[in-house]
């Protein structure tokens, strides 16, 4: 039961450290949305206009927009995520040798495998200290 609580607590700490993923520049977003609204108004006023037609005509409405197809694939390509989104350290801490094995096989990344191995070592030290403490308490209480 204590192991589950420790794993849950450690997972929330690691997730809280990823706060920088959710920062954004509101002014940049507003500028780009205004530019998209101008393009939308132009397309509504001129039926039959297509994006390829705008690109071929070197239209000023498209200035500053990056219309590369690679940008449409999403953000998952930029960040290599561990299996199930669980950090490597937690895999090693909670799942032990199996967690290190899973990270090594799925990630194929030495740094992530080392993090899982550190989690394994720290998890085993915590577990051993809990067992030793319980054993000492049992000896002291029986005497």
Tokens of 142: 């029986």
- The model's confidence at residue 138, banded by pLDDT at 50, 70 and 90, is very high
Give the C-alpha separation, 77 to 119, whole Å. 26
Q: Between 65 and 129, name the one with better pLDDT.
A: 129
DSSP calls for 49-105: --HHHHHHTT-GGGTT----GGGGG-STTTS-PPGGG--HHHHHHHHTHHHHHHHHH
Give the C-alpha separation, 143 to 141, whole Å. 6
What count of Cα atoms within 13 Å lies in the side-chain half-sphere of residue 12?
A: 5
Give residue 142's pLDDT: 87
CB 9 within 8 A of CB 90: no
Q: In the predicted model, is pLDDT for residue 20 greater than 70? A: no
- The model's confidence at residue 135, banded by pLDDT at 50, 70 and 90, is very high
Give the C-alpha separation, 108 to 106, whole Å. 6
Rounded percentage of the chain residues whose pLDDT exceeds 70? 70
Q: Between 16 and 80, name the one with better pLDDT.
A: 80
Give the C-alpha separation, 138 to 141, whole Å. 5
Average pLDDT, the chain: 78
Q: What share of the chain is helix, strand, coil (3-state, %, to 5)?
A: 75, 0, 25
Average pLDDT over residues 30-57: 78
Per residue in 55-97, pLDDT (tens digit) is 777 667 666 666 665 544 444 444 577 788 889 999 999 999 9
Give the C-alpha separation, 31 to 18, whole Å. 27
Residue whose entry in the numeric block shows the structure tokens 């720290």: 122
């Amino acid at each position: 039961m204590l192991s589950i609580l420790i794993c849950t607590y450690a997972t929330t700490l690691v997730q809280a450290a990823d706060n920088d993923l959710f920062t954004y520049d509101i002014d940049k977003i507003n500028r780009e949305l205004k530019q998209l609204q101008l393009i939308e108004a132009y397309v509504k006023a001129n039926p039959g206009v297509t994006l390829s037609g705008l690109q071929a005509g070197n239209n000023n409405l498209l200035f500053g927009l990056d219309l590369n197809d690679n940008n449409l694939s999403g953000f998952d390509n930029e960040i290599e995520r561990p299996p199930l989104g669980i950090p490597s350290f937690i895999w090693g801490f909670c799942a032990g040798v199996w967690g290190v094995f899973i990270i090594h096989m799925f990630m194929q990344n030495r740094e992530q495998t080392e993090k899982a191995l550190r989690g394994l070592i720290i998890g085993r030290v915590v577990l051993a200290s809990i067992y030793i403490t319980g054993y000492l308490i049992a000896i002291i209480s029986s005497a």
